[in-house]
Amino acid sequence: MSLPLEAAPAVPSDPPKLDDWFAGLGDDFAGRMAAGALRAGMSDGWRVRWRGRELELQVDADFPFSAPRIYLVGYARAQAQPHVERDGKLCLGSKPVPGDGIATVKAALAAAFRLLAENETKQHDDDFREDFGLYWLNWSSDTDLLAEVLPGPEGTTQCRLVRAVQTKNRAFVLPSKADAARFWTNRTGAAPKWLKTTALIPIDPLPAPHRYPDTAAELWTLVEARTRGGTDLLARLVDNDPKEFFVVLAGRAPSGREHYAALRIRRPLDRAGLPLKRRILRQGLERAENPMRTLFGRFRIERLATDRLDASSSRLPEGLQRQMAAAKVLVVGCGALGSGVARMLAQAGVDHLRLVDPDSLGWENIRRHELGADHVGHGKARSLANAIRAALPLIGFVEGYQTTFATFAREHSEALNDTDLIVSCTGDWTADASVELALTRLGRKGLAVYGWMERHALASHALLLGSAGAKLADGFDEHGNPRLPVVAGGKPPPPECGGASTTFGAVELAHAQALVVRLAIDALRGLETAPAWHSWIADVVAFEEAEASVASGWAVSRGQPGNMGGLFVGDWSFT
C-alpha cells in the first residue's frame, strides 16, 4: 500500500461507506474482523497488508469521534520496535476528523505507515533508551508487585547495596537503612519489621527490549557485560541462598535522564510448589567453573513494573529542589491558613519543617482546615505534622509543638537559631509581635513572612520582613488594627462562630495560602528581599455577597481594584 492512501469504492455509494473504502484497497485489504477477534472495548475492525506485514485497524463505539487503534499482528519482543506497545498497538498521534470515518481512518493509517517506515531505517532506536522506563514497564512480567525506587544522591554512578521494604503489592527501594526506616515510619507510624538488602547496579548502555533478561542467567550475562563489579553484588546477594531478593538496574538515557528497572529474584519451586531446599539448590556447585554464576542462574526472575518515588519532585527545577530541601522553615499558627501553608511548603520540597500552635482542632475548623473530623480534639500542630509525614513520607523532618511561639522560642532556642525562615499565620497581633521580637534576636539571619486575612477573606496579605529596617508594627496601631485595611463594612459573622471566627470559604482560603507560600519560597530562593508586601483582593461579587466595600484609604493609596480583584504589590510604608 502506498501513500497517500487513496482508494476508489468497489461499490459506489453516497456518502461513501467505510467498508466500501477498504474494499477499494484491493489485495491490500485482508478482510473484516470477526467480532470475537476484536480487542477489549472495540466494536469493529479491518485488516490490511503493508510491506509483507498485517495490521489490524479497530474502532470503538465512539468512532468517528475517536481515533482508531492500529495493531501489528504477530508482534513479539524479539522484533520490538520503538513506539509499539506489548500487544502490538502503535503509538500514533493522529486525531479523529469528527464525523468523517474515512478521513479519520486515512489519517491513522498514514501515521502508522510513516512510523513503521521510520522504524525500518532505525530513526527511533534511541527512544528505547530515552524512554527506557516506559518500555520496561511495557514488557514487565505479569505480576501484581510494583517497585517504587528512590535513587539517592549517587544516582546511576556506582554499584551499591540499598534497602527495600515490601508489602503485598509494593516494594519500596530506598538508598539506605536510615532512609527506608524514615520513609516507612513516616508512612505508617511504625518502624519497618524487616528490610531486604537489594543491589542497585548501573549498566551502560541501557538495553533495548530484545535484550531484557528473561532468566537469571541472562541477567548475569547482561550485568557482566555492561557493568564493573555488578556481578560481585549479585554473588553477594545469592550467597546466602535467600528465598527472594531484588535487583535494580539503573542507567542514563542519551539526554541524561536517569532510569531504574527492578527485578525480583526467587528460588525455583519444587514439585509441591515450595521454594527448593538449600542443599538441592546447591547440588553440583563444587564442580562448576563459576559456582556463584551457576547458583545465580538457577533462580527465576520477574521484571517488575517500576516507578520513581521522587517522580513528583522531578517536575521542579533542579536548583529549586536543592534549595527547598536545604531550607529549614518554622510555621507559627496551624489554623486554616497556616495548615495549608505548611502542607504546600512540604509539597514544594521544603524538607525540614517545625510547626507551632497551642490549640486543638475544633468542629468549627474542619470545613477549611487541612485536617478533618478524625483530628478534632487533638493538637493542630502535632496532628498536622503526622498527616504531612504520612502523605509525604520522603520528607526529612516534620515536628509539631503544641505551645505558643514565645514558649517555643524559650524552650527550643537552638532550633529557632537554626531556622532559615519563620512563616507566621496566627492572625493574632500579640503572637506576631512575639515573632518580631525573636527576629531581632536572630540578628542578620532573621527573616519572616507574616500572613493574615481580613473580614470574610476578602483580602489576604503576605509580608516579608527582616530583623532590621521596616517593622510589622509600622502597619498596625497599638491595638493591632491595620493602618491601611482593604475591607470596609461587611455583615457580621453568623451566630455559630460566636464572633470569634472570620467567615470565608475554601476558594478565598486557597488564594491566601498560595499568596503566603509563594512569597515564602521566593524569599528562600533570594528572589524577594525584605521588606515585601503582597496582597490579594477578592472580586466584586464576593464583596457584594459580604455586604462590604473597598476601604477609601486603600483606594486612594493603592488604587481601586478592578471587578476581578487580583494581586497588589506595594511598599510597607504608611507615611
Can you list the alpha helix ranges (DSSP code H) found in 162-229? 177-188, 216-226
User: 94: which 3 cell numbers?
Assistant: 493522529
Q: pLDDT, tens digit, for every residue of 305-360?
A: 999 998 766 556 666 777 888 999 999 999 999 999 999 999 989 999 999 999 99
Rounded CA-CA distance 387/370 in Å is: 9
DSSP H or E run through 307: strand 300-308
DSSP H or E run through 511: helix 506-524
Beta-carbon contacts of residue 299 (< 8 Å; ≥ 6 apart): 216, 238, 265, 266, 267, 268
* Domain spans, the chain: 18-120, 132-311, 316-570
> DSSP secondary-structure letter at 207?
P
Question: Torsion-angle region of residue 207: left (phi > 0), alpha (psi -120 to 50) or beta?
Answer: beta
Topology alike, domains 18-120 and 316-570? no
Which is nearest to 254 in space by CA: 122, 84, 124? 124
Rounded CA-CA distance 431/333 in Å is: 9
Phi, psi of 221 (to 5 degrees): -65, -40
Residue type, 424: S
Give the other-Cβ count within 10 Å of 218's Cβ. 14
Q: Which long-range contacts (CB under 8 A, 24 or more apart) does 288-296 make?
A: 292/231, 292/234, 292/235, 292/238, 292/239, 293/217, 293/220, 293/231, 293/235, 295/238, 295/239, 296/216, 296/217, 296/219, 296/220, 296/234, 296/235, 296/238
Give the other-Cβ count within 10 Å of 323's Cβ. 18
pLDDT of 12 reads: 44
pLDDT of 83 reads: 96
**Global pTM?**
0.79
Rounded CA-CA distance 501/270 in Å is: 69
- Which CATH fold topology does 316-570 show? Rossmann fold (3.40.50)
Is the Cβ–Cβ distance between 152 and 162 less than 8 Å? yes
Rounded CA-CA distance 558/568 in Å is: 8
| Pairing mode, strands 244-252 and 300-308 | unpaired
Q: Which residue carries 517497585 as its cell?
A: 147
Is the Cβ–Cβ distance between 340 and 355 less than 8 Å? no
Residues of the chain scoring pLDDT < 70: 1-16, 312-319, 444, 493-505
User: 453: which 3 cell numbers?
Assistant: 486575612
Beta-carbon contacts of residue 388 (< 8 Å; ≥ 6 apart): 342, 343, 346, 353, 395, 398
Rounded CA-CA distance 254/378 in Å is: 52
CATH class of 18-120: alpha beta
pLDDT of 575 reads: 72
